[in-house]
Amino acid sequence: MRIRIVDAFTDRPFSGNPAGVLLLEGGAFPAAERLQEIAAEVNLSETAFAHPLPPGGTADWALRWFTPVAEVDMCGHATLATAHVLHTTGLATGPVRFTARCGILSATAHPDGSLTLDFPTAPLSEEPVPYGLADALGGDPVSVHGTGEHIGDLLVELRDEAAVRALAPDFAALATHSRRGVIATAAAEDPARGYDYVSRGFFPGVGVDEDPVTGSAHTALAPFWSARLGRDDLTGLQASARSGLVRTALRGERTLLTGTAVTVIDGELLTAF
């Protein structure tokens, strides 16, 4: 079985967020324990597993995502990576629909090579700043928001871009503050640089201390910043060491995430399911 490593939300290798992608034969997933073992071996923030579905249904592929230690409800960059593989190998030529834990998702390819994902918008709810969060994060929150069941993060607004870039969290302490992790964000210092807001994503609750570029987090960042900046179409920069850009378009209960991807490794999984 072929396994690919795809760098997502970037147009060049060795940047953006790498994801493992395995396209399975047949009409069912193997045992979750086996998928988890493979994801642990791949040891990236997410590994995506997909298998084709019979024609005529509400979706074309079934899709699941695993970190090295847990299955998650939603993942943007590994969905982008999967759609990239489907289109670059000729397995898909038009929009692709996926069924996943968080519902029906879709991916549409564009002539310039970019892909747009259609995801549910995260429902934001402002919350009091939890005791100890500032010390765990390494920065003082301006506001804190919950992000709903499928993401399960805290969205933490900081005073400026410099504060986001300077964070050095205590990951063990941070893991106690949300089910999945913490998204730290601030407005861009200079929008002329090509992005409207900046973020970083820390997910120690699912075994990922810092994620390079988190597509799912942008389903919360999009409504947050659209409300503040007065525009539905924005660009976010996730300021990790690898970095990546996500173009976001808020469409009510749905959020469109647009980016590019690059396949960097195409190999073979030798062990059987």
Helix-, strand-, coil-residue percentages of the chain, each rounded to 5: 20, 40, 40
Q: Which is the catalytic residue, given 25, 37, 46, 71? A: 46
From residue 53, give the alpha-carbon distance in Å to each of 56, 59, 139, 227: 9, 7, 46, 38
Active site residue 161: no
- Classified as helix, coil or strand, 143 is strand
Which residue, among 207, 208, 206, 160, has the nearest Cα to 184 in the 3D structure? 160
Q: Which DSSP string corresponds to 62-94?
A: EEEEE-SS-EES--HHHHHHHHHHHHHTTS-SS
- Classified as helix, coil or strand, 34 is helix
Which residue, among 35, 38, 43, 8, has the nearest Cα to 269 in the 3D structure? 38
Which residue, among 268, 267, 263, 266, has the nearest Cα to 16 in the 3D structure? 263
Structural tokens at position 260: 């590019």
Please state the φ and ψ torsions of residue 173, each to the nearest 5 degrees. Answer: -70, -35
- Classified as helix, coil or strand, 21 is strand
User: What amino acid occupies position 144?
Assistant: V
User: What amino acid occupies position 98?
Assistant: F
From residue 96, give the alpha-carbon distance in Å to each of 56, 116, 243: 13, 10, 26
The set of catalytic residues is 46
